[in-house]
Structure 1
Amino acid sequence: MDTGTHIAMGVALGGLALIDPVIASEPLTHKAVISGVLVGSLIPDVDTVLKFRNNAVYIRNHRGITHSMPAVALWPILISGILYWIYPDVNLLHLWLWTFLAVFLHVFVDIFNSYGTQALRPFSHKWVALSVINTFDPIIFALHLIAFGVWWKTGEPVPTMLGLLAILVLYYILRFAMKRAVTHAVEHTVPNAEEIFVAPTMSFFQWRVAASTKEAHYVGRAYGRSVTIYDKFDRLPLPTEEKVVKVAMTDSNMRAFTSFSPTYRWVIDELKDGGYEVRLIDLRYRSKGYYPFVAVVHLDDEYNILNSYTGWIFSEQKLQKKLHIEK
């Protein structure tokens, strides 16, 4: 989820914590718990700082080890230990329990996005992505704001947050049912599909769609059960035997892209001033006729890598500025 929603969930959890008699009867412990759940709701995303290094490192590692099983166990210990040092009279066990719940909830809700997490590490490095909730879901965020308003008006955090939790559970069940219906619609639209990708958007009824048969990739959108295919691309294997591709695929940006993107097409072009461009284009995130998630490598005539880039880019002009070379 986005940072704002994680913060909102932390605030809601702070209110729900008053269901615990120890916290309700010890104001200092409740104060520490509020700090613990807020920090715990955010700390798994500390790996966002990897963006300052480069996109390849960020793509390969974001929501990786910081969202893993060992991290879910260690973050609450670290946070609770620091808060216990600040507030030595608090109930450490209950502080740890609620902080653990905040960290666990952060990782748990992230698996419902299309990006997903490596929550099963160290047992598996597979990305767990259920693709039923958009990274920012305006309905979920609005439900939290409404609940905070009810809390402020009534002064009753526990029943309010329990009601919010019940509504959210029903909402998630509804989203699973909607995704299943869209998937069935895609199967009818592309009957020979071997792979189907369905992902939510910020619009409640709209879903991104990418499907692959043995011969082609199909990209479109679904509105309810109505599927519209916008683009069709021949499904061709990447010519890994060609030297330009062999060299390009050694680049860290290309390796990061392929570790994350299961559905993409490739393009190899000659550059205007000599050399080559190898481009991989993720087909899952079509937006306004453009495919913004790409990996690009430029090589000279001797197959030396000149520059490369991977990440989200929304115009060809901006991409070429990133590469510092004119095509």
Structure 2
Amino acid sequence: MLDISVIIPVYNAAEFLEKSVISALQFEEVKEVILVEDKSTDDSLEICKRITKEHSRVKLFQHPDQENHGAAASRNLGIEKAVGSFITFLDADDYYLPNRFDAEKTIFNDSKIDGVFNAVGIEYLTEKGKQEFQSKFSDNTLTTVNYPAEGKEVFRGLLGFTPKTFGTFFHLNALTIKKAALEKHSLKFNKVLRVHQDSDFIIKLAYHCYLKSGIIDQAVAMRGIHDDNRITKIIRYSPQYNQRQYLFWNSLYEWSKPLPLEPDYAQHIYLQKKAFELSSKKGFSKMTSLLAAVLKNPNILRTKYRFTYSH
């Protein structure tokens, strides 16, 4: 039987936290639920303490200085403290469905499989949150990939190098990974990234580890969409958006430099990084830098770089 550590970063999630924890405790495969409380300003810490008293499988940790360090650092601390052979993640405002580990029970019988990913559904908790989400991501009810895949096909798909559109993302809530695989490749979340640290982690994971799709046509977990979802607050191609995209692609670029990536993959990562780096410049400096970049590699014009904002 699988022995799983579920890691839940907790920040201002008092309204949702207990439902999240209970959804993980329903599975006998779950050896422990690790709550990493990140200096919330609401009642989250008190709720964490109460839940740990009521449920022996729930463990509570805070950062050594008891300060706020973000979701990436909180997940890293959870991985460090985990004792299960398998690691899963769950956001504190989300929850697992009863089929959460159905695919894993059979797929992990193949010893070469390091990780399994599935589909995540969406639950709208507020009307404002629904409108903000749909204005940016349409009314897609599943966060998933478009077809089954495993091994290097997952990495290629996430970078957009497959003949069919694979999909750019699968959600951490539906990922199960062997802890030994994370340790073998020293894989952690990038603490510099306050957003996109999940996408950054997943792409690196797909390169180093053998991942396989599980249930991708129906949800195994649900995301709660409400007024305070950070990802919906960012205006696309605004200075804030471009800066966060730059940090994300620069993280992948720095990671990829010493690796034997295929030239097309390495160039794609570099050009995305360079495009969003240019987007932060203004005026004459921006135009001269862009011209120099185009002369060096015209393919930069095929990236998602935009001439809007911060001219």
Same fold per superposition (TM over 0.5) = no
Q: Please indicate the TM-score interval, normalised by the length of the shorter structure.
A: under 0.3
TM-score by length of 1: 0.21
TM-score by length of 2: 0.22
